[in-house]
Chains A and B, each alone.
Chain A
């Protein structure tokens, strides 16, 4: 399988999952490569993004599988793609991989909590204790309406760090698939259980995709 690792930062974080596939389909053409097309009535180029990324989330570890019409992948594909991509989307590596996507089990993610008026030591302490609890039920929207889900089993690791007088960082390893935990749910947990510690704004980013043994997935 041909795979590429790319990052999505800056204003590119606002590009949706579906739009990002279109962006890549065009970028391949601009770079002079034709992606393999699906057969059928409405032919379209085939690209597959491993884990859909929420709009607004920055990532340094996006994985995309693709197939070219050509039989081999040229060495300079990475540079040529980068010259053809919009600002903020940058391919880090193009490679062949036998690793199956289901082996991608965990995600190293960070959430920055912004407190415009600063936060107290008590807030920091309360957050640390919150994520040490044995259970963390949150309300989650599902296809059938709202449901209560315990997100604690999906958090493998979580550390609360102070970045500045107004920013706290949640540094976490969470489940990526079956079931997956959107890091934004960590903020949801704070809002649910510690409404007084609710940040003015929060922002998520993906740091690394991981295998079960915590090594990077490629």
Chain B
């Protein structure tokens, strides 16, 4: 008889994402391993398989002979419905074993709006949601990723957090677990021992005390655990583990190509950008290593596209020789090279033309703010002149399509700044009229505005998020100022970004809210077709928690929920940057002189960007 899953598969969209079996998937013998890890990505297969971190860590864990790491993704709504109807528990793809059978359950968390997927996936697996309800070592839940620098909203559900880059710390956590399992440790003993691994944060060993006004009074570490846990980094990226044999999905994913990191960290210091601070210090891969890895990845995967990714690719010191070498390899093989995150200031015509040889990609700018004054406030060091010059180059080179990204609700923003966005758009239209070689196809500008979300570990971590009403007023102000048919204006919905702000700077009291929200049907919140603000609002009501509390301005001397975590950049530096922002002063990039953020102390001998 055909099994239940195979009977369900013909009834759901894109069934290939549920069965594994891809080229390079890793299958070991159960009897050969001692620790099985269900590595969960709390969103769809298409997104998860596009995640570079997940691919690296899948390799890292499976390199350990005693460990077998298998993948789990969130089911799409149709599959979830079928699973619930037929009581089919969530499985890992490799040999389709239920998640509940695994020793450890790992989550990589990159986005606040995937929190409910974590809870939903545990629930679909039949694993108790709350860490306190999971007694033994079995089903130990741990989490890492860019989002867990403020782990508190997830503190009730996750046994331990792994902070920072996972190449080394993951091995240490798994090795300790292996020993604990073999020696039959109690869970508490394992957690206490894990807390001694640098970069491991065990939330149950920290007690949060609140003031009467709801703010935090103090965070009390128990049993001698460190008061502050500092994130981990890899010292030498050239020597760091990188998998050149990667899974090649049999179905289309979001980033369907090979991905290489040029460097980690960022020299720019845009004040709204969490990644820009959390990934410091700056460490690069050498061009030789990158070329070697690029060729190995492309040959092993058969991909016909490769992306050189980083937070700001133009800041890679050897960008030109590197791209020349990679283009020489790619062109005869009809492989496309894409280079996202190029800056407008040194986006050379030459590089643009070179990339165009294989395939013409889009032109995207993220000025983030409409006026120079506000760009100075957020330290986004791109000038109007640079944008217009780059546009002129692109238009005369045959581009007719520009994407522009802005934020509304940035600190100190006025109506003049909002209207400045429209002015910049019209200047770009003017440049196109002057410089476009072929006007027949017309110009198309995709303009997009996001609702600013203050994030922990940025100079704006204290600022309030403007109200949804005020955000929508600014959206309409901008909308009314743009009449051109060349412009397609899209803006982020206010409900989602409001919630993102709550979760980003939230504390432990949100655990109960999330649990309720999931009970009321919240999951796949990042997807328009599933996001249900009502479920969330009912959950806040039911728990007596006011979401506005987390969107307010936080006091500079307030105890912050994420104070027991350090990303290496000092709180003093963030505060100094915040004060400079208020005065409209820019901070020069790190190459023009060290600004003393503190992240260099994470590197060997205090070095950064060498």
Contact = CB atoms under 8 A, between A and B. Distances in A.
Given A19-B16, A56-B15, A12 B250 contact: yes
A140 interface: no
A29 B2 contact: no
A28 B302 contact: yes
B345 interface: no
A59 to B, nearest CB: 15
Interface residues of A, number: 35
Given A14-B16, A30-B300, A43-B334, A19 B252 contact: yes
Given A114-B1, A201-B2, A29 B9 contact: no
Interface in A165-180: 166
A86 B304 contact: no
A27 B250 CA distance: 11
A34 B303 contact: no
Given A19-B252, A34-B333, A34-B334, A25 B302 contact: yes
Given A14-B16, A30-B299, A87-B21, A114 B2 contact: yes
Contacts of B2: 114, 201, 203
Interface in A58-110: 84-88
Contacts of A22: 252
A15 B302 contact: no
Nearest to A32: B299
Interface string B4-35: 00010110001110111111000000000000
Contacts of A29: 298-299, 302-304, 333
Contacts of B22: 86
B16 A26 contact: no
Interface majority SS on A: helix, strand, loop or mixed?
A: mixed
A14 B9 contact: yes
A178 to B, nearest CB: 26
A16 B252 CA distance: 10
Contact of B359 (A25, A42, A201): A42
Contacts of A10: 21
A30 B9 contact: no
Interface string A11-52: 110111011101101111110001001000111010000000
B477 to A, nearest CB: 39
Looking at B300, B302, B333, B359, which has the most chain A CB atoms within 10 Å of its CB?
B302
B586 to A, nearest CB: 41
B15 A14 contact: yes
A26 B302 contact: yes
B170 interface: no
Contacts of A85: 23
Given A25-B304, A26-B302, A30-B302, A14 B334 contact: no
Looking at B18, B301, B304, which has the most chain A CB atoms within 10 Å of its CB?
B304
Contact of A11 (B7, B21, B248, B252): B21
B255 to A, nearest CB: 14
A203 B334 CA distance: 40
Nearest to B332: A34
Given A23-B250, A114-B1, A16 B16 contact: yes
B334 A84 contact: no
Contact of B301 (A30, A42, A114, A116): A30
A51 to B, nearest CB: 19
Contacts of B414: none
Given A19-B250, A30-B302, A86 B16 contact: no
A45 B248 CA distance: 18
B251 A15 contact: yes
Interface in B9-63: 9-10, 14-16, 18-23
Nearest to A167: B1
Contacts of B333: 29, 34
Nearest to B20: A11
A34 B248 CA distance: 18
Given A11-B21, A84-B23, A201 B302 contact: no
Contacts of B10: 55-56
A25 B18 CA distance: 22
Contacts of B360: 41
Contacts of A27: 23, 302
B15 A55 contact: yes
Contact of A86 (B18, B23, B299): B23
A14 B23 contact: no
A57 to B, nearest CB: 9
A82 to B, nearest CB: 12
B552 to A, nearest CB: 48
Contacts of A55: 10, 15-16
A177 to B, nearest CB: 24
A56 B301 contact: no
Contacts of B23: 26-27, 30, 84-86
Contacts of A114: 1-2
Contacts of B15: 14, 55-56
Contacts of B19: 11, 14
A15 B250 contact: yes
27 contacts: A11-B19, A11-B20, A19-B251, A22-B252, A26-B304, A27-B23, A29-B298, A29-B302, A29-B304, A29-B333, A30-B300, A34-B333, A41-B360, A42-B359, A43-B334, A43-B359, A45-B304, A56-B9, A56-B10, A56-B15, A86-B21, A86-B22, A86-B23, A88-B21, A114-B2, A166-B1, A203-B2
* Chain A to chain B: the 6 pairs with minimum beta-carbon distance, closest first: A26-B302, A29-B302, A30-B302, A11-B19, A11-B21, A14-B15
Given A30-B300, A43-B359, 20 more contacts: A11-B21, A12-B250, A16-B14, A19-B250, A23-B250, A25-B304, A26-B302, A26-B304, A27-B23, A28-B302, A30-B302, A41-B360, A55-B15, A56-B15, A86-B248, A86-B250, A88-B21, A114-B1, A116-B1, A203-B2
